[in-house]
Amino acid sequence: MNVLPFWVVIPAAGIGSRMQADRPKQYLPLAGRSLIEHTLDCFLNHPSLQGLVVCLAEKDPYWAGLSCARNARISTAPGGRERADSVLNGLDALLGQGAKPGDWVLVHDAARPNLAASDLHRLLETLADDPVGGLLAVPVRDTLKQAGADRRVTATPDRSMFWQAYTPQMFRLETLHKALSGALAAGVAITDEASAMEWAGHAPLLVEGRADNIKVTRPEDLDWLAGSMSGAD
C-alpha cells in the first residue's frame, strides 16, 4: 500500500522540570546529539513527509544552534501555555504552508526519540483509510492498582482493558483542530490529542507499537536510552 502524504507537529515548549537539568529535556545530549534531533530523524527519513513544525517556547535559546534548524522541511511556530495550545499553533502554521483540512497530521512528543521506522510505517498504513485516526499504544503488561487519596489500594482493574498511550497520534488536520479548540474553550483537561478527539465524540484506533518508544521524563529514562543506543553500536 502506498502511504499517503503526511505532516508532523512537534510540541517542544515544555521545560521538563522532573529532569532537574540545566535546560529543557529535549535539548539534553543523547549519543552525541540533542534528544530532539533523534526525535526528528524518523520523520525526516520518511519520503512521504510534507513538512514538520516544531512549536518552541518564547525566546528559546537552543533550537537555532542545532543543524536541523536549517532543514528546509522544518519550520517553527510559537509554543503555548499548554500542549494543546502549542499543537493548535502548529496546525495553524501547517495551514499557512499549504496543508489541506483533510490532510493527515501526526503529533509526536519532542522527548520521545526512539520511534522505530517500522512503528511509523505501521501507524501510517493502518490508519490510511480510517475515518477517525488513532495513535500508537502498548497494552498494559503489569497489574494495575487503583488507589484512594491515602494511596491505599481500592481496586485491581482488569489490565486487559487498558493500553498505554504513546505518540505519534494521527488525525485529520481540520478534525483535530476543531476538537482541540472546542475542548480548550470548554475548559476540558487535555492530556493528549486523542483525549480531545474522544471529547469531541470520536473513537481513535489503538495501533500496537513497540514498548521501547519511551518518553523521556526522568533522568533514568535518558540513561536507559543512552545505554540502549550504545549497545546497538
Domain limits for position 173: 6-232
Considering the domain boundaries, does residue 1 fall inside one?
no
pLDDT higher than threshold 60 for residue 2? no
Helix (H) or strand (E) holding 164: strand 163-172
Considering the domain boundaries, does residue 46 fall inside one?
yes
Considering the domain boundaries, does residue 228 fall inside one?
yes
In sequence order, what are the beta bridge partners of 67? none
Q: What is the mean pLDDT of residues 197-208?
A: 98
Radius of gyration of the chain, Cα coordinates, nearest whole angstrom = 18
Residue 107 and residue 168 in contact, taking contact as beta carbons nearer than 8 Å = yes
Closest CA to 75 of 101, 49, 100: 49
Helix (H) or strand (E) holding 170: strand 163-172
Number of domains within the chain: 1
Considering the domain boundaries, does residue 44 fall inside one?
yes
CATH number of the CATH domain containing 91: 3.90.550.10
Q: What is the pLDDT of residues 116-170, one digit of tens each?
A: 999 999 999 999 999 999 999 999 999 999 999 999 999 999 999 999 999 999 9
Q: Which cell numbers hold the place of 198?
A: 474522544
Q: What is the pLDDT of residues 71-120, one digit of tens each?
A: 999 999 999 999 999 999 999 999 999 999 999 999 999 999 999 999 99
Packing angle of the helix pair 117-127, 35-44 (nearest 10 deg): 50
